[in-house]
């Protein structure tokens, strides 16, 4: 049946260009942060395209956006395919958008071919995958999997000071045509296409990655408190300098965390210095740590090392250190069933594919908690992502969409 359905590559590439104009940055990327006016505009465009095609459009209380094409068995849980439309502040055109628009292209091409599927098919655009305006990331899929919005988000503020619940409700109101539905309805499976965001497919010249799991991620926030004092008059013995402590704490971690384990990832991406004056020793330094590894036990051990290093460097500088876990995503193993569908899809299309683990987290990790999930990766130039220069060759975007279509039809056949 799949052979009668064809992805319209030209239409997909045009859509990628159309969405890249929403929040376009001068350097060729996008700034379409979660729940911003630009994010709302992209949701509006997708909803309009769907309504024009006669598909039904829904949103839940997290503003996750769903587009539904009814199957022959409408009472059965649908198969869901998609990704996200929000971006990093200096994000690329493909991270999230490719998976969402390819999923919509799959739905359209099935409709174009006049094929009725047994199960209903839904395309999803999850809210706030990136976590850069409002943290944590993947809030939409996390709440969907939990079936509830965590209480802690009721007073959550974004980096720009905006209140999450206000921006969420403005986003919901901006799409009155979407029918409201409960958060966390039953689904029978989830497939997500995404760019690899790393270099291995490109280096090995393989167009398709079949993603069997996602490594674990843990976000920590460390605050080292010392004493603010005059930069010019305070001699060394009187200083309680939290910046000196932070540098001393981080140096051995940089030297050991990644060099001693090729799978470990250790990143300090954000640092805030108070009061932030050139001529004042800081009163406090707060920094983030992003830890990743395929094994939870190793992430636990890395966290212990971070705590020890910060405590001892703080004590040596007459400061105090506090460590808080702000986000914890255990590693995920995807569904064997859906991986077999992906293997068959690649074989039927004659596409070379390799099995791989995702270094980045994705909405699929959360959906995998409530339904079988799996992912497809396509190469991106130089493995570069979270960067305005992010680029995917047109033929790779199209191959990814063809893979998603074939896997969708396989999954519907298996799950129906
Ligand atoms: C997702 O954007 C991640 O940080 O892995
Ligand atoms: Mn993404
Ligand atoms: Mn991203």
- Which tens digit of pLDDT belongs to each residue from 174-228? 999 999 999 999 999 999 999 999 999 999 999 999 999 999 999 999 999 999 9
- Average pLDDT over the chain reads 97
Q: What CATH architecture is 2-215+331-415? A: 3-Layer(aba) Sandwich (3.40)
| Contact call for residues 219 and 305 (beta carbons, < 8 A) | no
Q: What is the DSSP string of 304-369?
A: HHHHHHHHHHHHHTT-EEEEEEEEEE--EE--HHHHHHHHHHHHHHT--EEEEEESS--HHHHHTT
99 in contact with ligand 1, CB cutoff 6 A: no
Residue 23 tokens read as 């929040």
Rounded distance from Cα 314 to ligand 2 centre (Å)? 36
- The tokens describing 164, both together, are 């999450």
Cα-to-centroid distance, 10 and ligand 2 (Å): 23
Which pLDDT belongs to residue 415? 85
Q: Which atom of ligand 1 is nearest to the CA of 290?
A: 4
Domain with CATH 3.30.70.360 in the chain: 216-329
pLDDT at 416: 83
End-to-end CA distance of the chain: 15
Q: Grade residue 1 by pLDDT with cuts at 50, 70 and 90.
A: low
Could you count the other beta carbons within 10 Å of the beta carbon of residue 100?
27
Ligand with smallest separation from the Cα of 375: 2
User: In the chain, what percentage of residues exceed pLDDT 70?
Assistant: 100
Q: 126: Cβ below 6 Å to ligand 1?
A: no
pLDDT over 90 (residue 2): no
Residue with tokens 């991406």: 269
Q: 66-98: per-residue pLDDT in tens?
A: 999 999 999 999 999 999 999 999 999 999 999
CATH class of segment(s) 216-329: alpha beta
Q: What percent of the chain has pLDDT over 90?
A: 98
d(C-alpha 80, C-alpha 119), whole Å: 10
Rounded Cα–Cα distance for residues 69 and 65 (Å): 14
d(CA 122, CA 124): 6
Find the 332 Cα to ligand 1 centroid distance in Å. Answer: 14
| Residue 284 pLDDT > 70 | yes
Residue 32 and residue 45: Cα distance in Å, rounded?
13
Q: Distance from the CA of 231 to the center of ligand 2, in angstroms?
A: 43
Task: Give the global pTM.
Answer: 0.91
Numbered ranges of CATH 3.40.630.10 in the chain = 2-215+331-415
Q: Would you say the CB of residue 97 lies under 6 angstroms from ligand 1?
A: no
pLDDT tens readout for residues 13-62:
999 999 999 999 999 999 999 999 999 999 999 999 999 999 999 999 99
- Report the alpha-carbon distance of residue 128 to residue 168 in Å, rounded: 10
Q: Which two tokens stand for residue 364?
A: 């699929």
Asked whether residue 165 carries a pLDDT value surpassing 60, the answer given is yes
Read off the tokens for 252. 């051995």
**pLDDT, position 373:** 98
């Amino acid at each position: 049946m799949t052979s009668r359905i064809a992805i319209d590559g030209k239409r997909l590439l045009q859509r990628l260009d159309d969405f890249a104009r929403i929040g376009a940055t001068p350097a060729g990327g996008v700034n379409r942060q979660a729940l911003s006016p630009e994010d709302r505009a992209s949701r509006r465009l997708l909803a309009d395209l769907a309504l024009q095609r006669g598909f039904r459009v829904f949103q839940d209380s997290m503003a996750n956006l769903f587009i539904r094409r009814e199957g022959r068995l409408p009472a059965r849980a649908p198969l869901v395919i998609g990704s996200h439309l929000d971006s990093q502040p200096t994000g690329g055109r493909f991270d999230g958008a490719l998976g969402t628009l390819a999923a919509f292209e799959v739905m359209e091409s099935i409709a174009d071919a006049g094929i009725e599927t047994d199960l209903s098919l839904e395309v999803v655009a999850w809210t706030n995958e990136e976590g850069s305006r409002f943290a944590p990331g993947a809030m939409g899929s996390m709440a969907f999997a939990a079936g509830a919005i965590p209480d802690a988000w009721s007073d959550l503020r974004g980096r720009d000071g905006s209140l999450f619940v206000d921006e969420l409700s403005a986003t919901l109101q901006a799409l009155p045509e979407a029918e409201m539905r409960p958060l966390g309805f039953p689904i029978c499976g989830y497939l997500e296409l995404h760019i690899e965001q790393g270099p291995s497919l490109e280096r090995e010249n393989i167009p398709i990655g079949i993603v069997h799991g996602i490594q674990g991620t843990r976000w920590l926030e460390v605050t080292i408190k010392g004493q603010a004092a005059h930069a010019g008059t305070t001699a060394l013995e009187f200083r309680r300098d939290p910046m000196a402590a932070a540098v001393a704490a981080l140096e051995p971690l940089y030297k050991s965390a990644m060099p001693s384990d090729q799978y470990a990832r250790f990143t300090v991406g954000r640092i805030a210095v108070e009061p932030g004056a050139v001529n004042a020793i800081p009163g406090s330094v707060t920094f983030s740590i992003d830890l990743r590894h395929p094994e939870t036990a190793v992430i636990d051990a890395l966290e212990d090392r971070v705590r020890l290093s910060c405590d001892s460097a703080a004590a040596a500088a007459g400061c105090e250190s506090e460590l808080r876990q702000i986000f914890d995503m255990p590693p995920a193993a995807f569904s064997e069933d859906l991986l077999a569908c992906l293997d068959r899809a690649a074989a039927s299309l004659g596409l070379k594919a390799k099995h791989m683990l995702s270094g980045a987290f994705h909405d699929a990790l959360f959906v995998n908690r409530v339904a079988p999930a799996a992912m497809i990766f396509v190469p991106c130039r130089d493995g570069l992502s979270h960067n305005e220069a992010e680029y995917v060759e047109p033929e790779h975007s199209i191959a990814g969409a063809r893979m998603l279509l074939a896997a969708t039809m396989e999954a519907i056949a298996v799950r129906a």
